[in-house]
Each structure stands twice: as C-alpha cells, then as structure tokens.
Amino acid sequence: MTMQKKCFILFLSIIFLSCRKDIIIENTPENVFLTFWKIMDENYVYFQEKNLDWDSIFNVYYPQAKAVTNEKELHGIFSEIIPLFKDGHVGISCHLPGEFYSDISYHFRDDDESIQYRDNPFDTIPSMEKLGFVEHKKNTYYQYKHKNYSLITVFFSEPMTDLISYLNYLDYRDGLILDLTRSTGGKSNNVYDITSLFFTGEKIVGYKQNKTGKGHNDFTGKIPVFLEGKNIIPENVPVVVLTGPYTFSAGNIFSYIMKELPNCIIIGKKTGGGGGARCEALLPNGWVLSYPFYKYFNAQQENTEFSLMPDIYVTKKNEDNENITHITDVIARAIEVLDSINGF
C-alpha cells in the first residue's frame, strides 16, 4: 500500500471518528479547563525550563473551574494561569461579548524598565534623518548619507523577496545594520531564508527537539538543522544586529544564529526570548489555545527559549539613575562600531 493511500485512509478514519457524538466534549467550564490541561500536560515542551509546579497549579485552579458558571469567570481563571508559563508563545484567543480585547497572553518583554527603550518602537519611529539616513521605503530601508552603510528593519512575517530587491541598490559595502527591535515573530522559513544570505556552503544553524510521547521529558535527541548559504551578502561585510525586549520568537532565533557568524555583532538590549514555534488547538467552547511544540537550540546548543544578551549592551541614564535609552542611541552606537571596524 502506498504512503498516499495510507494517509488517505487515516484521514477518512479521523473524519468518521470526529463525527461520533460520544467523543464530542460537552462545552462546560470544567471540560474547557480539563481539555486545556490535557493538551498542555501532554504537549508543552518547556515544563523543565519554566520550573512549573504543574500539579500544584491543577490543585489550585481545577476546583475554581468546576465552580464557575460563565465564560467571563473562566476567562479570569485562565488570565491567572497563562502568565505563570512566562512564555510568549502560550496564549488563548477568545471572544467575550461586550469585551473589546479579551485574548489571554503573557507579555514576553521584561517588566524591568531598565531593559526597555524609552520610546515604544511600535508608536514612535526614530528620526532617521537626524542620524544621517535617507529613507528608501517607509520605516524599512535606509541609506546612510556619510558612509557606505545601510539599515534594514527586518520583519520575519514577510518573505525575503522584497529585501533582496532593495539589497540590489542599497550600498552596504562597509556595513549593514539589521534592526530587529520590532521583530516580534514570524515564519521559521523566513528566518532561514534571510540567514542564508549571509554565508556560503552548508552550515548547522541550530538543533531541534521534538516530543516523542506524553511525558514532560519525552523528547528526541537534538536534531541538527542544516542550511545552505546563498552568499548574497559578502562575508567580509560587517553586520550589526540591533536587539531589544520586543525581539521575540523568530527575531530571537535569528539573533542567536547571526551571533555565530564571525562578521556579526549584536548591539542593544537583551531579546525577549522565545524558542521553537507554536501550534494551535481548539477548546470545547471555541477558544483557541496556542503553545510551542518543539525546542530550538543554536549551533552551540544553547536553548533559544531564553533571552539573548547582546555583545554590546547599550544603556543611558539621567542624573537620577533612570533609564533614558532610546533606539536612536543604539543606532548611533552601531555607526560608531562600524566606523571603528572600517578605521574611519
């Protein structure tokens, strides 16, 4: 029997089974909680890293879930549980009548203001003209007026075709700055596609660990991730990657990979962490649970779930010892570093 036929038969079996009424889970707050619990218990990959007392959490919140009578109260319970994971990939997408915004998630950026930028990168775009940059595409591609440097704001939700087209006429022979301070996530394929621009030949860029069973520690060994370099950007071009607390998930993994390249320097503040990728599962009441389903390690086998510290940490404080660091301060520092490398 061919693999296609086997897959088709399995698909039909799933359809027929899913139509059986006796396996449909009744939509009650208790069943929503138990479904959430079972999915996470059998599939979540970072129990050890997060030091979660999973049984204790069950003992505290299961009685509460049994006692609630509506979704708003259940929402309140999950609003307490989800932040305990301290994982930006864990969340519940839901809708409550009359509620403007009711999704439940963990804010992956650290609450410590000393590691934040004073300007919110999503509200205030730094004045690039004052720093000497000419804008080629709004908030994305810039050319430095005084030297052969270029700055690109990288988003991993977008394919690299647009990036490559702009590389064709940006002059970055003396330095390329990649701004990841707003790179909160995206597709892993885009991470690999963009990474491949910076080297030639085949390279191990990381390792994956997949779940093999329902136990919290049931994993494969570390499986190497090979990537073939395209050498679009010459390996002698200095590269500076700018990071911050919003550099999360795809942005974080890209930072870990780029840090291994000899011509790359990471500048800014520590990333927001986030390793692996997330998947989604439907709860009985229609809410959608998301969670990471594999672990990702860099080439040095460091766990990318955790924040990456930059090579050069940038911080500015006022006379009251308060953090006043802006993204423009990090860009200015990147220019200084490139000047030093080039002997300007």
pLDDT digits (tens, 9 = 90+) for 221-255: 999 999 999 989 999 999 999 999 899 999 999 99
% the chain with pLDDT above 90? 63
Question: Residue 256: is its pLDDT beyond 70?
Answer: yes
Q: Edge-to-edge, what's the strand order for the sheet holding 278-282?
A: 104-105, 91-93, 288-292, 278-282
More confident position, 127 or 23: 127
The answer as to whether 74 is a domain residue is: no
Question: Residue 6: is its pLDDT beyond 90?
Answer: no
The answer as to whether 334 is a domain residue is: yes
* Domains held by the chain: number: 1
pTM attached to this predicted model: 0.86
The answer as to whether 128 is a domain residue is: yes
What pLDDT does residue 166 have?
84
The answer as to whether 172 is a domain residue is: yes
pLDDT digits (tens, 9 = 90+) for 19-66: 444 456 789 999 999 999 999 999 999 999 999 999 999 999 999 999
pLDDT digits (tens, 9 = 90+) for 66-97: 999 999 999 999 999 999 999 999 999 987 77
Question: Residue 124: is its pLDDT beyond 70?
Answer: no
Average pLDDT, the chain: 86
The answer as to whether 230 is a domain residue is: no
Question: Residue 340: is its pLDDT beyond 80?
Answer: yes
Mean of the pLDDT values across residues 148-175? 88
Mean of the pLDDT values across residues 129-139? 82
DSSP 294-326: EEEEETT--BTTSPPPPSEE---B-TT--B---
What pLDDT does residue 96 have?
74
> Cβ distance 341 to 305 under 8 Å?
no
Question: Residue 187: is its pLDDT beyond 70?
Answer: yes
Range(s) of the domain holding residue 118: 113-199+235-272+307-342
The answer as to whether 26 is a domain residue is: no
What pLDDT does residue 226 have?
97
CATH of the domain at 240: 3.90.226.10
Q: Are strands 200-210 and 264-268 parallel, antiparallel or unpaired?
A: unpaired
Question: Residue 272: is its pLDDT beyond 60?
Answer: yes
Helix (H) or strand (E) segment spanning residue 104: strand 104-105
What pLDDT does residue 224 have?
98
What pLDDT does residue 39 have?
97
The answer as to whether 46 is a domain residue is: no
Single out the residue of 118, 150, 138, 84 nearest to residue 245, CA to CA. Answer: 118
Q: How confident is the model at residue 327 (pLDDT cuts 50, 70, 90)?
A: confident
Give the CA dihedral 208, 211, 215, 216, nearest 10 degrees: 40
Question: Residue 210: is its pLDDT beyond 90?
Answer: yes
The answer as to whether 65 is a domain residue is: no
Instruction: From residue 119, give the alpha-carbon distance in Å to each of 141, 272, 325.
Output: 20, 16, 8
d(CA 214, CA 165): 46
What pLDDT does residue 216 have?
96
